[in-house]
Amino acid sequence: MNEVKHTLKDVAEKAGVSLTTVSRVINKRGYFSKATEARIFAAMKELNYYPNSVARSLSGKKTKLIGVILTNTHNPFNAELLEKIETELFNREYKTIIANSLDNPQKERSYISLLQSNQVDGLITASHNTIINDYHQLTLPVVSFDRYFGSHIPTVSSDNFLGGQTAAKVLLEGGARRLLLFSGEISDTNPTSDRMNGFMDICLKRKIVPEIQGVPSDATSNFRKMLIHQAITQHHPDGIMCTDDATALLVMRELKQLNLRIPSDVQVVGYDGSDFILQTFPELSTIVQPLDDLAKTMVNLLLNKIDQPDVLQERQYIFPITFHRGTTTKFIDTE
């Protein structure tokens, strides 16, 4: 005899509430009392009604789902980081739910709510938005990439300060003196700030004051090109650092359009060193982050936290960077 398949309506009738109330409880949205929640869960258990991934969580089992929040996926580094995280999770029998915030705090906040309501076992975030309190309020395990949320959320990153220092040394030791830094968003929670601070540290020790031009990550391609053109034609640099490789490629294109030779007239150093960049644009000198190590460490930390929630973890895990010598710089000596 076939088992009766109950519906949401059956749950509502059993619990003595409306369909809307059952939906609110399942999705953890809106107001409902603890007593109502308990009555609905009891009805669901009695009827053996567990929708989708919620089923496992209500029965005390893992959903084997991990949420991953990124600022964007059109950046080659982010795309490869996501791929490596997803592969590592799949190898550990976990599935990935991807959320692309596009640096929009409201969008990210809604994704956080959605992921928690879908009962993911944990969350990896590579966002740079300033909605730290939203993460503090989460009850599920969280690991952060490149951004410090607090002592209870482990942060995994490469040495951004050293990366900025290395870029400055390369340009200065190649003879550059009129330096220009193209930077992403500058804030206390953004890794761009550490890269810039490392760059400035070396420059100021050499008594050189570089120009700084912000390039918003959410700006259109044409707007970014306009900012790059204006900064180069205004400051006439002979050495440029970009805090990401995507911007460095735009800078190289603009220099060529201005008939400036690389590296004879202007040296360029990028940042990130994804496999795509190293294979497709090997001429770009760039700071390389250890993508494999970063992805594996984040996954290991998160799954360990899921399996052993009471075991304390280190607050920060910082990996060393390396330098890829391309042909956009004149001389390499970072010692």
Whole-number pLDDT of residue 265: 98
The token pair that represents 173 in the structure block: 């030791």
Q: Which helix (H) or strand (E) holds 44?
A: helix 34-47
| Tokens 């994704």 found at | 111
Fold of 160-290: Rossmann fold (3.40.50)
Return d(Cα 296, Cα 85) in angstroms, integer. Answer: 7
Instruction: Write down the pTM of the prediction.
Output: 0.79
Hey, which residues does 323 pair with through a beta bridge?
287
Q: Peptide bond preceding 76: is omega within 30 degrees of 0, i.e. cis?
A: no
The domain ranges of the chain are: 8-49, 65-157+291-318, 160-290
| Tokens 């000198």 found at | 285
Whole-number pLDDT of residue 334: 47
The token pair that represents 179 in the structure block: 């330096």
Residue 76: CB partners within 8 Å, gap ≥ 6?
245, 246, 272, 274, 276, 277
Hey, which residues does 212 pair with through a beta bridge?
181
Whole-number pLDDT of residue 1: 44
Per-residue burial over 281-315, b = 16 or more CB atoms within 10 Å of its CB, e = otherwise:
beebbbbbbebeebbbbbbebbbebbeeeeeebee
pLDDT per residue rounded down to tens, the chain (335 residues): 455 667 878 899 999 999 888 878 876 667 788 899 899 989 988 888 766 555 555 555 678 999 999 888 888 999 999 999 999 999 999 999 998 887 777 888 888 877 877 678 999 998 766 566 667 677 789 999 988 877 788 999 999 999 999 999 999 999 999 999 999 876 666 778 899 999 999 999 999 999 999 998 778 889 999 999 999 999 999 999 999 999 999 999 999 999 999 999 999 999 999 999 999 999 999 999 999 999 999 999 999 999 988 787 888 999 999 999 999 999 755 44
| Residue 240, φ and ψ in degrees, nearest 5 | -130, 130
Q: Which helix (H) or strand (E) holds 268?
A: strand 267-272
CATH topology of 65-157+291-318 equal to that of 160-290?
yes
Whole-number pLDDT of residue 8: 79
The token pair that represents 239 in the structure block: 């050495």
CATH 3.40.50.450 fits 65-157+291-318, yes or no: no
Hey, which residues does 125 pair with through a beta bridge?
69, 144
Tell me which residue of 181, 173, 249, 217 sits closest to 74, measured CA to CA.
Answer: 217
Whole-number pLDDT of residue 54: 54
